[in-house]
Amino acid sequence: MTQAIAGGNINISDSDLPAMLNLSVSGVTDVKAISVIINRLEHIFVVRKNISTPEELKGKRIAVSRIGSASDIVTRMVIRQWKVDSEKEVFILQSGNTPTRMTALVAGHVDAALISPDSLHKILATGCCRILQDLSELPLDYARFGGAVPTSLIKTQRDSLRRYLQAIIEGIYLFKSRPKLVYSIFEEEGIKEPAVQKDLHERLAKSLREYPVPDAGGIQGALDSLVHPSARNVKPASLMDVTLVEEIKKSGFIDKLYGRPPKN
């Protein structure tokens, strides 16, 4: 989506927020976060069964979707926290999206990869791999998913953006409050086991924020993960606009959905 935003082909991105912020940090285009719906890491770091500690990643092959993508950024950030040098001590390989990374793991072509929560049961069922770290358990604010738009649109398309955010907020409410509806969508996506559906719903419902206002701590977490040298000098406030979500909250829209003030 970064290329589409930078090229003006789309006006809103609802995913890969760190990569969107990197457009501003690197001077490609002026982008701001207008919402953060998940303010923590969500993926699971999965490894081949012969690996039991982060130290044992040294010399191993780690798959990411592509260099510079969210999976690449998060992978490098996490292994840095484990005191493993992502440039010198491991091999970072471009391998494509989650299904492609799973295939590479099962075949033994790579030794580790980030796997999305909805695909975890599939990779574990093969018996090839184990969880090294559930990243959602890390005590880290991280603006992972949310809305990002060219800054000019916040003035010129304000009403459209407000209605977009109201739809997102209502969608979060439906996800949290109507699990059977969510299970039916999981079913369409091929996730049919009731226990897996329940676990995935509970995990995502816990992560989704009722009041998805951009948070300075989460934006800073995303900045800290970027490799561009300018990221160290950028203030979180310069990359976010809280006014749209704040207006929606003040209107009582979220309170009416939940029958109470929102909580995150």
pLDDT value of position 88: 95
Phi-psi category of residue 8: left, alpha or beta, with phi > 0 → left and psi -120 to 50 → alpha: left
Length of the chain: 264
Query: pLDDT value at position 49?
Result: 96
Domains of the chain, first to last: 2-39+142-258 (3.40.190.10), 44-137 (3.40.190.10)
Half-sphere exposure of 152 (CA within 13 A, CB side): 5
User: Phi/psi of residue 34, each to 5°?
Assistant: -110, -5
Q: Report residue 195 as tokens.
A: 């226990």
Question: Confidence class of residue 70 from pLDDT cuts 50, 70 and 90?
Answer: confident
Q: Averaged over 206-226, what is the pLDDT? A: 95
- SS3 assignment, position 44: strand
Beta-bridge partner residues of 148: 13, 33
Q: In whole angstroms, what is the distance from residue 104 CA to residue 112 CA?
A: 9
The pLDDT score that the predictor gives to residue 67 is 85
C-alpha span between 217 and 140 (Å, rounded): 9
Residue 71's pLDDT is 85
The mean pLDDT value for 200-226 works out to 95
Q: What is the pTM of this model?
A: 0.85
Mean pLDDT, range 136-144, rounded to an integer: 91
Percent of the chain with pLDDT over 90: 82
How far is C-alpha 79 from the geometric centre of its chain's CA atoms?
A: 17
Rounded to whole angstroms, how far apart are CA atoms 78 and 133?
Answer: 10
Cβ count within 10 A of residue 235: 11
Instruction: Quickly state the pLDDT bin for 239 (edges 50, 70, 90).
Output: very high
Cα(224)–Cα(50) distance, rounded to whole angstroms?
A: 31
Cα separation, 257 vs 152, whole angstroms:
30
**Distances 137 to 12, 45, 48 between C-alpha atoms, Å:** 29, 11, 21
Reported as type and span, the H/E element at residue 74 is helix 70-81
Residue 166 phi, psi (nearest 5): -60, -40
Q: What is the CA radius of gyration of the chain?
A: 19
Q: Are 51 and 60 in contact (CB under 8 A)?
A: yes
